[in-house]
A and B are shown apart, each in its own frame.
Chain A
Amino acid sequence: MKKSFGSHPLHAGVLGTPAAAPLMPGRDLVRSRTLENGLRVIVWPVHDIPNVALYNWVRAGSRNEAPGITGLAHFVEHMMFNGTTRHPPGEFDRQMEAQGGANNAFTSDDVTVYQDWCPRSALDLVLDLESDRIAHLAFVPEVIESERGVVASERRLRVDDNNQGLLSEQVQASAFVAHAYRFPTIGWPSDIQAWRIEDLQSFFRTYYAPNNLTLILAGDVTAADAFALVERHFGPIAPQAPPDRVRAREPEQVGERRVVLRRKAQTPLLQYAFKAPAAADPRGPAVSLLLSVLVDGDSSRLHRTLVEQKRVAVEVGGHWHEGFDPGLLWLYLTLPQGSDVEQTQSALDAELAKIAAQGVTDAELRRAKNMIAAAFWRKLATIDGKAQLLGEYAVFHGDPLRLFDAPAQFEQVTRRQVQAVAREILDRRRRTVGVLVPEEEEA
């Protein structure tokens, strides 16, 4: 549902095009401009349906938090829907929906992203509402209290009543000692109860300035019209001093960490979180391909060996957190009831050791490249996918047009490069292991 938090919204990047595929359209259509106040605007005109997808990327996430105020970035995201000095709480959604628009938002470790999907006819209103909440956000005390309850409910849904969520929160908190990536994006329960209005105001002032935003529009609008509309609505908003950069650098992890949870449950869980590069790292395509070889689809290595052949897991998944700073490469396993976690762990370790020692085969690499290329095309088939990809490349790679180079970059990755990242990343000393051991219910 809307206004969700997600620790990992940016899925491992979806790029790479087989040599035979046609050239990707779009490079010559995309236009970008930076307003005087520093707001970056990127437009991809596409006229297939009479709609526009708008993404407003704010460079603020749980990475910008501190002990005692964890979850604040996500809470500010919620408050962005709860009234400005010009519009009372609820008006944002009421006006937008009454003109045919829908919206959502998500917060991650790195960014907060606001999304609108509207008919072209509502674009003026949507930009008015979007700029209004950047310029005139109000923090109404009683609304803060009510919204605190909403976030607490969201936390119970995703973490407290969800064993996978609970375990990954603990693993992430143990994987980092210095960097704010250790904070759960939803916030620790006591912080959710303790945020003050001043915390919200200060966070908002610091990060919600035009020079800290990237605005993407994809859909039924010309670049000239889009720039004129954005200039009219966002142009008058004054820039702010750029926020302090995040200075914390996670020190090298020098030994395995382990978290064991005992919970009322039927199913044991096993998670690995390896230290991994940042999104913009040149090894990025090789990391995505490695992950794809490991867990993407029924023909992936870990699915085939652990789920189908050895049957020590019933489900295997993975994720690379592509953030501003070096993050984690995750593997998640769901085990059969009553199974021995140690046995699954040795089987998994053996597979990871093998890929580090022997690398991947040509067929595996071809498959991973093709899967990533096809996923890329599927994403480009919608205005939403276009807006999302442009934003990811603009924000995490510094240039939206790099999106169009990505297919070739994936295609160029060699087996040797994939093996090199496997060796480096899949290192026991740089991993955190999470285990959830089921406990019997009391009678």
Chain B
Amino acid sequence: MSAPTFGVKVPAHERIVLANGLTLILVPRRDVPLVAFNAVLRGGETADPAGKRGVASLVAGLLEKGAGARDAFGFADAVEGVGGIFNAGAGPESITVRGQFLARDQHLMLELLADVLLRPRLEPQELAYLRARQIELIKAAKDSDPAELIGIYGRAFLFGDHPYGRPVSGSERSLGSIAHEDVLRHRLGQFGADRLTLVFAGDIDSEWLTRAVEQTFADWPRAQRTVSKLAQPARLGKRRVLLVDSPGSTQSYFWIGDVGVDRHYRERPALDLVNTLFGGRFTSMLNTELRVKSGLSYGARSGFARGSVAGEFAIRSFVQTPDTSSALNLALRTLGKLHDPEAITSAMLDSARAYVLGQYPLHFETAADWAAVFGEIELFELGSSYIDSYAPQLCEVSVPQARRVIEEAFPSPEAVAMVLIGDAARLRESLLEYGPVTEMSLREPDYAAARAFAGEELAFT
């Protein structure tokens, strides 16, 4: 195996941990007069009790709706008045606040960031409206974006009551039940210095930022609660089907998945190479079968979500309704083929390796890219070697390693959750051959029906 001709190394940076546990990372870089920040608060959607799905996402949304001396309008005026970007959002294991400002506005940037973290207003009337608007946006997505929604149904059906099964942004029903006290409770329990990693990258004034962050955040106490470790979700072991009815839909949008691997999976380079070959690029096995050779679909791909515990591996594609079975069979057959001992050759690995290495630098081009990467490294405690050792490790991946990864991380086609959004009247019969079928309507205001049958063997035909 030849040595890598290039790779990506973590750039020079400073990492400072304050006495209260806050981690500050500074990544100076002077190509354009911009600064990027990324504030990662460990916790997120999975930190909340079951039954309160979407609290973290509402808390994140409310952070921009008034903080410190500014109400919601004042806050938006302050950010956008100087051409800034400021976005708060929730994920399964964190709330993140990210943004970019012109370098000359970094004082304002820190002031706004400190306000949302230390002094968010979280006003009841803003909550009421944000909640109502979120519900409407879910309805709108159901009318126009089935391909985007399918992962939510997939995760609910696969993970059931495990926190990864919860829709991060809630459901129409769960959002309706979230009260102001839930929001306050989340903030008290989950916000605090020990939870926060603050990354600043770009054309920054490091000295000033260090001093200002120390002064501003020194008295911030730790969060009242600790982040509980998530249970490792269990593999499926058998096949089951969820059919989400969208009458009149011209296509079936499908998702085929199982529990995959976590962030610390030791064979990540081999995993990336195999997934590149299976469903991660245009010439992948999946896209070749479902698009290039058959013309059945505009595209098919696969990927892993890797959290502190194993998230999902999933295949996604879509196909016109009458061809649904052909496409499902092809996807399952292709997944089966991946498990053939001869599926991956050394020449294939070389091609995937060149592809991953060749595209890798493009993910680390801007200050905002690095702010995101450092946040992730801290959140999942990955260490700089996650980036620095990646290219050398990629170069070492062998065929036997790839085979081992296939057996460890990629499910058998006999043991997957299959989820479809489509016209149930035209699909119902044909899906019975794949396993027990659960059916629900896309109009249902919750994903409970998907969760209720996760893990049960009840045939619902």
Q: Chain A: residues with CB nearer than 8 A to chain B?
A: 1-2, 18, 20-22, 48-51, 89-90, 93-94, 97-103, 117-119, 121-122, 145-154, 156-157, 160-165, 264-267, 296-300, 304, 307-308, 311, 314-315, 334, 336-337, 363, 366-367, 369-375, 377-378, 380-384, 438, 441-442
Contacts and interface: CB of A to CB of B under 8 A. Distances in A.
B80 A21 contact: no
Contacts of B293: 146
8 nearest A-B pairs in the assembled complex, by CB-CB distance? A100-B358, A149-B295, A374-B83, A370-B83, A146-B295, A98-B351, A298-B76, A299-B76
Interface in B13-49: 31-34
B144 interface: yes
Given A48-B365, A299-B73, A381 B34 contact: yes
Contacts of B281: 97, 102
A49 B364 contact: yes
A119 B358 CA distance: 5
A160 to B, nearest CB: 5
A20 B103 CA distance: 11
30 contacts: A1-B299, A2-B299, A18-B83, A21-B33, A97-B281, A100-B354, A100-B358, A119-B357, A122-B358, A146-B293, A150-B291, A153-B296, A156-B320, A157-B251, A161-B251, A162-B145, A298-B76, A298-B80, A299-B79, A299-B80, A307-B133, A334-B140, A367-B83, A370-B102, A371-B80, A374-B34, A374-B102, A378-B34, A383-B365, A441-B247
B80 A367 contact: yes
B298 A153 contact: yes
Contacts of B146: 161
Contacts of A161: 146, 249-251
B350 interface: yes
Contacts of B142: 266
B298 A157 contact: yes
B77 to A, nearest CB: 5
Contact of B139 (A100, A160, A337): A337
A111 to B, nearest CB: 21
B32 A381 contact: yes
B435 interface: no
Interface in B69-122: 72-73, 76-77, 79-85, 100-102, 104
Contacts of A163: 143-144
A325 B5 CA distance: 47
Nearest to A46: B31
A97 B355 contact: yes
B76 A98 contact: no
B172 to A, nearest CB: 10
Contacts of A314: 133, 136-137, 140
Given A18-B83, A118-B358, A299-B76, 20 more contacts: A21-B104, A22-B33, A97-B354, A145-B295, A146-B294, A149-B295, A151-B298, A152-B320, A156-B320, A264-B248, A266-B142, A267-B140, A298-B80, A308-B72, A308-B129, A311-B129, A315-B140, A367-B77, A370-B81, A370-B102
Contacts of A154: 298
B191 interface: no
A40 B288 CA distance: 34
Nearest to A82: B292
B319 interface: yes
Nearest to A309: B73
B439 interface: no
B250 A373 contact: no
A298 B85 contact: no
B34 A377 contact: yes
Contact of A150 (B5, B144, B145, B297): B297
Contacts of B145: 162
A127 to B, nearest CB: 16
Q: Which of A94, A97, A99 has the most CB of B within 10 A?
A: A97
Nearest to B300: A1
Nearest to A383: B365
B361 interface: yes
Contacts of A94: 283, 351
Contacts of B139: 266-267, 337
Given A48-B31, A315-B137, A374-B85, A164 B355 contact: no
Nearest to B299: A1
A366 B368 CA distance: 25
A56 to B, nearest CB: 17
Nearest to A382: B365
Contacts of B357: 100, 119
A363 B81 contact: yes
A278 to B, nearest CB: 27
Contacts of A438: 143
Given A146-B295, A162-B145, A367-B80, A51 B247 contact: no
B247 to A, nearest CB: 6
A48 B6 CA distance: 13
B195 interface: no
B64 interface: yes
A300 B293 CA distance: 47
Nearest to B358: A100
A51 B365 CA distance: 10
Contacts of A50: 6, 361
Interface in B299-319: 299, 301, 318-319
Contacts of A160: 250-251
A378 B100 contact: yes
Residue with the highest number of chain B CB atoms closer than 10 Å, among A148, A157, A382:
A157
A145 B293 CA distance: 11
